A and B are shown apart, each in its own frame.
Chain A
Amino acid sequence: MVSKPSAPRIAISNVTLGYEGHPAVHHLDGAVAPGSMTAVVGPNGSGKSTLLKGIVGLLKPIEGHIDVEGLGHREISYLPQQASIDRSFPISVAEMASLGLWSRRGAFGGVSVSDREHVARAISAVGLRGFEDRTLDTLSGGQLQRVLFARVLVQDSPLILLDEPFNAIDANTAADLMGVIERWHREKRTIIAVMHDLELAKERFPHALLLAREAIAWGTRKTSLRRPIFSKHARCPNAGMITHRGVNAKPADVPL
């Protein structure tokens, strides 16, 4: 039996990330501890999603390097924003969740009975039992997000990256999915979630990175999301407003 990889440490060394030579995140330096749960908060255009793309290997740093210790890119669970999903494509909830088997089965590997049971358990865990045969175009935004969480569960990765997991979903769904994230945290997986909701980050995430195209603060929530930080950096030079209640965007000049 192959042992599961343990939660990785992520070392970020003087990293600048961007698009076509235009930096979106400048000179980021720091580390994410194994098994930690970090919220990345900041206004639109602050480079949050860009940072996740850099960690998962979709974007090569313009400068510096990101080291996900002991884990290949295919072993990382990455939940992108829903915008990239073609909901009209005629596949079922179960088939969509089964894509999470990719890291183990690849493009050609067979799917076993235990794989199917694993998928069924994941669908059940996100509250979608009975929806297995429904096609994606019949689901609400919140239900689709549950399917994507089921796919992450199927991936069973020690590192989970979530890009705005609570965007445009109702409070009940957000609460359920937050419960799933906290379960992952108890299982000692490393979790990084990009989010807009500062209150939620302060209440539920032990660590936070406040980002505005550069690190404004990074550490435990008590140190990185305290009020003086917001007053000091109320208006970041390259992004929108940050207040103690939340983040207000101004039109971003960098594609995310």
Chain B
Amino acid sequence: MRRALAGCIALSLSAAPVGVFMMLRRMSLMGDAMAHAILPGVAIGFLLFGLEILPMSIGGMLAGLLVAVSAGLVARGTALKEDASLAAFYLISLSLGVLIVSLKGSSVDLMHVLFGSVLALDDEALIVVGAAATISIAGLSLILRPLVAECVDPGFLSAMHGPGTTAYLVFLMLVVLNLVAGFQALGTLLAVGIMVLPAAAARFWMRRLFGMIGVAVLVAIVSCVLGLLVSYHLRLASGPSITLVAGGLYLVSLVVGPVGGVLWQLLPHRHRAA
């Protein structure tokens, strides 16, 4: 349980900030597609080595990067837009992944890969999650300025001949890295939940970027702690438990959040001086 908690907090610290940028770039659904895209790599790792975290993580990382880079290049180099390009790649990946897992494993194995088992985190898995989180936080800090410039004014960054494409590709790698770090705990399908839901909740509490990141991390950590407790005591799957708590916090934020929340919109406001 303590290992699970440590793993989930590390994941919250790295995945939630990446999730905020995914939301701000309108890429939340793209994250979901990427979560599907890592499946064939995880499945090949599973096929060759069984339920071993390292080969499955490396396989997932490679598959995710291949799909992310291919989809990005197709979107930037052809008439196809990014959403359609990514959808095509992830559908191929998902089908391939399920087929590979079913070649060797049982439906229990498939459920483990798809929905995770955070309480089964061993030391090796914890090291993988911790290393991924460290790389992710450092990577995001490095690309922060070009990423912000690329999000808010890509025309300006192009004129400065700034590293917009590099920042974008590194960001895609960080998305994949966090999905891979999250799949052991939450499963491939729900790993994106700890990225997207805290970010969406934070949007209703903060107006500025760093405030949003702080709240998203907090929501992610609270979701992990509460989700793990629920999962442990009620013997429920950990991935859906954590994601549902995050979903609950999102719904609460949607209603009572002071930045565009439903209740705040219904209440009369006094205007500011300027």
Q: Bound pair: A and B?
A: yes
Interface residues of A, Cβ cutoff 8 Å to B: 56-58, 73-74, 76, 78, 80-81, 84-86, 88-92, 95-96, 99, 102-103, 107-108, 130-131, 135-136, 151
Further contacts, 13 of them, CB under 8 A, given A90-B212, A130-B274: A56-B159, A80-B153, A85-B152, A85-B153, A89-B24, A89-B209, A90-B209, A91-B208, A99-B152, A103-B160, A107-B163, A108-B142, A135-B207
Flag whether B76 is at the interface (Cβ < 8 A). Answer: no
- In whole angstroms, how far apart are the Cα atoms of A81 and B159 in the complex? 12
Flag whether B146 is at the interface (Cβ < 8 A). Answer: yes
A167 to chain B, nearest CB (A): 15
Flag whether B148 is at the interface (Cβ < 8 A). Answer: yes
Flag whether B233 is at the interface (Cβ < 8 A). Answer: no
Complex: chain A residue closest to B274, CB-CB: A130
Complex: chain A residue closest to B160, CB-CB: A102
Q: Is the CB of A89 within 8 A of B151?
A: yes
Complex: chain B residue closest to A73, CB-CB: B161
B248 to chain A, nearest CB (A): 24
Q: Is the CB of A58 within 8 A of B159?
A: yes
Flag whether B149 is at the interface (Cβ < 8 A). Answer: yes
Give the dominant DSSP class at B's interface. Answer: helix
- In whole angstroms, how far apart are the Cα atoms of A79 and B46 in the complex? 52
Interface residues of B, Cβ cutoff 8 Å to A: 24, 142-143, 145-146, 148-149, 151-156, 158-163, 206-209, 212, 274
Complex: chain B residue closest to A92, CB-CB: B208
- In whole angstroms, how far apart are the Cα atoms of A81 and B155 in the complex? 9
A-B pairs under 8 A by CB, number: 70
Complex: chain A residue closest to B149, CB-CB: A99
Complex: chain B residue closest to A134, CB-CB: B274
A contact residues around B158 at 8 Å (CB): 58
Complex: chain A residue closest to B153, CB-CB: A85
- In whole angstroms, how far apart are the Cα atoms of A103 and B151 in the complex? 18
A contact residues around B163 at 8 Å (CB): 107
16 residue pairs of the A-B complex, CB under 8 angstroms, read A73-B160, A76-B159, A80-B155, A84-B156, A85-B152, A89-B151, A90-B209, A91-B208, A91-B209, A92-B208, A96-B152, A99-B152, A99-B156, A102-B156, A107-B163, A108-B145
B contact residues around A88 at 8 Å (CB): 24
The verdict on A91 contacting B160 (CB below 8 Å), with A107-B145, A108-B142, A131-B274 known, is no
B contact residues around A57 at 8 Å (CB): 159, 161
Q: Which 5 A-B pairs have the closest CB atoms?
A: A84-B155, A80-B155, A78-B159, A89-B152, A107-B146
Complex: chain B residue closest to A89, CB-CB: B152
Q: Is the CB of A102 within 8 A of B208?
A: no
A contact residues around B161 at 8 Å (CB): 57, 73-74
B89 to chain A, nearest CB (A): 25
Residue from B149, B153, B154, B161 with most neighbouring chain A CB atoms (10 Å): B153
B contact residues around A73 at 8 Å (CB): 159-161
- In whole angstroms, how far apart are the Cα atoms of A89 and B161 in the complex? 21
